[in-house]
Amino acid sequence: MRTIVSVLQQDWINSLGWTLLHSLWQYAIIAAGCALLLFFTKTFSANTRYLIALGSLMLSTLISAITFNNYQQASAEIIMHSTKQVAVIPFFAEKNLFSLVSFISNHINSLVVVWLCGFLVYSLKTLLNYRYCQHIKNHHITSTPEQWQSIFATLVAKVGVNPNIELRISTLAIAPCAIGYLKPVILLPLGVLLGMNQQQIEVILLHELAHARRQDYVIGLTQTIIKILFFFNPFLRWISNQIDKEREHACDDIAVAISKNPILFANTLKEFASMHINPKPAMNITGNKLLLTRITRLFNQHERVSKSRHSLLASLLIILSGIVITVCASAKPENDKTISLNVTKVAVQDVMIQVNKKCGTNEVLVTKDNGEVTLLLEDISCDAAIQLLKDFAAEIPAPILEKEGS
């Protein structure tokens, strides 16, 4: 029990708690910027829009890392001891117990514990899903007909993916999917092989090979880890959903570009959805609205090719402004830094040197003696600590400031 309490009292717990809280408004800003960019790039390619959403996700992660680092630097604790023992003069920074910040600070450990429980639940769920994917990848596999091995090899060459990728016919999988990075595998359900004609199966395989070419499996794992860390954040989940949607659109575009038959692909999507197969792992057909959107896109290729220079310039300005605003907003102001000191018979000049290091300041004490001071400070701001030391050096005589050897 003492070990748990000791861990919860560490500075990184406080930094993590505040980072999680700040992620709510930070990601809201990034999500708004992402939505604006997607609005201005409606005629852009799906891959461009995918990169915008993916960049928003990476920016969100970077902002949280910066915030955590800022809080770590601000959570400084200075402990200086001497062999001499004198009475301690306690001083506590004034706190507003009724303020929201004080309330959160007093309960930040509980917040982290709640987050940790959710994190463990989502981590366990993800591990189980991963184990299931590995299970269906290696079990209940039937031999692939030679005809389809030859067709698959031709499609692999057309798409331009790793020639070592393997096609496996699964009696357990409920939807086509691409699994693995070092040893990639395309799983094709036996029901799809028996229920669709050759041309339809080929465009489905083209879609899955597009995922392999784009290395979506690795990016998807990274995306999943970030989603686990911020499972509570609705804005990050919205960004993640945009990534998923544009990823599928981009793979649709690749499949159509190679097959040169958007009508065939649209009919395949419709028939695949009518088979009442859970498509979540692969084709991602979830609901009539998304299905209609994907089919409609296939007949508007020429509109997405044309790009307005003004729209591109506006998009770049928006994303640059969003980065600057978010980074600046996430930075913790210097005045918010707090430190704790437990100082026993230490030269006041040496204390100021340590405070300067932790607070990023360069204050100098104007004092003629080498007085020593004993102080106990808890969660005092840098400005207040510096002013306190100046007051000691300038105004307070012995015995609080004592000369060496006195």
Q: How far is CA 364 from CA 71, 335, 354, 386, in A?
A: 25, 18, 12, 9
Asked if 205 contacts 186 with a C-beta cutoff of 8 angstroms, the reply is yes
Q: Angle at which helices 262-274 and 288-297 pack, to 10 degrees?
A: 170
Q: What pTM does this model have?
A: 0.70
Number of H helices, E strands in the chain: 16, 8
3-state SS assignment for residue 279: coil
Tens of each residue's pLDDT in the chain, 406 residues? 444 444 444 668 888 988 999 999 999 999 998 998 898 888 888 899 999 999 999 999 999 999 888 887 765 444 444 434 433 434 444 444 346 666 677 778 888 999 999 999 999 999 998 898 888 888 888 888 889 899 999 999 998 888 888 899 988 888 888 888 888 889 888 888 888 888 989 999 999 999 989 988 889 999 999 999 999 999 999 999 999 999 989 998 899 889 888 888 888 887 877 765 444 444 444 444 556 666 666 666 544 444 445 555 555 656 655 665 655 555 554 445 677 777 777 777 777 777 777 776 777 776 656 567 777 766 677 777 777 777 777 654 544 444 333 3
Tokens at 146, concatenated: 């030679």
Asked if 89 contacts 388 with a C-beta cutoff of 8 angstroms, the reply is no
- 351 CB-contact burial (10 Å; exposed 0-12 / middle 13-18 / buried 19+): buried
Q: How far is CA 65 from CA 15, 73, 143, 229, in A?
A: 10, 12, 48, 12
Amino acid 61: pLDDT: 93
- Give the whole-angstrom CA distance, residue 74 versus residue 72: 5
- Give the position of tokens 């393997």: 166
Amino acid 337: pLDDT: 64
Asked if 47 contacts 250 with a C-beta cutoff of 8 angstroms, the reply is yes
- Give the position of tokens 């057309």: 158
Alpha-carbon torsion angle 146, 149, 155, 159, nearest 10: -170
